Amino acid sequence: MTTTGPSITVDSASTVHTAPTQTAPTAEADVIVVGAGPGGSATAYWLAQSGLDVLLVEKASFPRDKVCGDGFTPRGVKPLIDMGIDTGPGAGWIRHRGLRVYGGGHRLEMDWPELASYPNYGLVRPRLDFDEMLARHAQKAGAQLVEGTRVDGPILDRAGRVVGVEGRAEGGSPVTYRAPLVIDAGGMSGTVSKSLGLTRRSDRPMGVAVRRYFTSPRTNDEYIESWLELRDGERLLPGYGWIFGMGDGTVNVGLGVLNSSTAYGNTDYREMLKRWLDNVPAEWTLIEQTATGPARGAGLPMGFNRTPQYTRGLMLVGDAAGAINPFNGEGIAYAMETGKLAAEHAVQALARPSGPHREQALRSYVDSLKGAYGGYYRLGNIFVKLIGHPEVMRLCTTKGLPRPLLMKFVLKLLANLTDERGGDTVDRVINGLTRLAPAA
């Protein structure tokens, strides 16, 4: 494939500067990955590490922002370590030691658990910086990154199998990329997936989130915060909220509403965010005058709400597959994890001749996803339906938060943090529940 690679320099603050990447109007690769978010970049990294020729196509040009809480639980830290990424403070990361929860008139701080499988710390980093860093990491591994190129849809052969994608580069010039395998990591929009008729399942959870940045003295908080109740004076608002200190003088503040709530789809979420913040302590300075930009919103596809995750030469990873954790709204960890899993199956498949034996390896990706997440996501889908009822959420917060042992269980369950082997009783209970639950 003919490409012009970028020049890259990294300064002491880990900010990446790069010239735009260009590619020929027609190019070929072993695998095309659509979307250079965390899922796409992780997929491209692992594919390139295995020696495959990978084309990573991103519709925007870096740096570009995404709506997110910017927080990583220990589950989200592990994939970064696996990829050899320095997660130390000197590399531009902010560490946090655990989760602070508000609800039912209670406030509880919980450190991340000590586990063999995951680190005991979380991270914060703005998506404006993180996504480019991860994409450049994939590029250094050998992936070919193409920015500013919008993919409009798949190219199909006579049998209806995906054999590439077509779209337009900046300026409107058409481009065509061909490969025996395409991976859609294009987020909730899932342009390639939708073109094959893979639309969102209405029986699976969906959420919407709105976030905004403020300058605040709470920027260096050691804990990230989850608010299980949002109040406008004495009035209880729908949804849940978060406050994450960014360590740079600002905080990321946001709220989410699930489609199990009657407020989903018929609420002014930005106004609701304002009403909640009007009732937090004034010394936190979460007011209009300290906002560094507008409130922005995005959808949260959860619990594998787009299926199947493989069909006709197309694999889905991350948000394109609806892989967000329904228990806590975490998406980055699962984007990177499903990206690695997709890459493993792609490597095995492309080592085989085209035909039934290759298809068998690709179809088994769906089974691997069910094995890894199916039971857990089934429980999460039930959880979403339950907490959509205000009386259930009120009971959980008022009765649950004062009980530290119960909340240890809840923390591990919601963050999906357990050891499969050698874990404690809580781990064994959670692992047993997920094994018993039918796959989502």
Beta strands 31-34; 54-57: pairing state: parallel
- Measuring CA to CA, which residue among 41, 253, 222 is closest to residue 120? 222
Q: What is the pLDDT along the chain (440 residues), one digit of tens a residue?
A: 433 333 333 333 344 444 445 556 668 999 999 999 999 999 999 999 999 999 999 999 999 999 999 999 999 999 999 999 999 889 999 999 999 999 888 899 999 999 999 999 999 999 999 999 999 999 999 999 999 999 999 999 999 999 999 999 988 999 999 999 999 999 998 899 999 999 889 899 999 999 999 999 999 999 999 999 898 888 888 889 999 999 999 999 999 999 988 888 888 999 999 999 999 999 999 999 999 999 999 999 999 999 999 999 999 999 999 999 999 999 999 999 999 999 999 999 999 999 999 999 999 999 999 999 999 999 999 999 887 777 777 777 777 777 888 888 999 999 999 999 888 999 999 999 999 999 87
Count other C-beta atoms under 10 Å from residue 289's C-beta: 7
CATH hierarchy code of domain 15-96+116-206+300-440 = 3.50.50.60
Written as one letter, the residue type at 212 is R
Q: Which regions of the chain carry the CATH code 3.30.9.10?
A: 97-115+207-299
- Residue 439 CA, chain-centre distance (Å), reads 21
CATH hierarchy code of domain 97-115+207-299 = 3.30.9.10
CA distances 213 to 194, 382, 419, 425, 438, Å, are 32, 32, 35, 39, 40
Element (H, E) at 414: helix 404-415
What's the pTM value of the predicted model, to 2 decimals?
0.92
Q: Which regions of the chain carry the CATH code 3.50.50.60?
A: 15-96+116-206+300-440
Written as one letter, the residue type at 227 is W
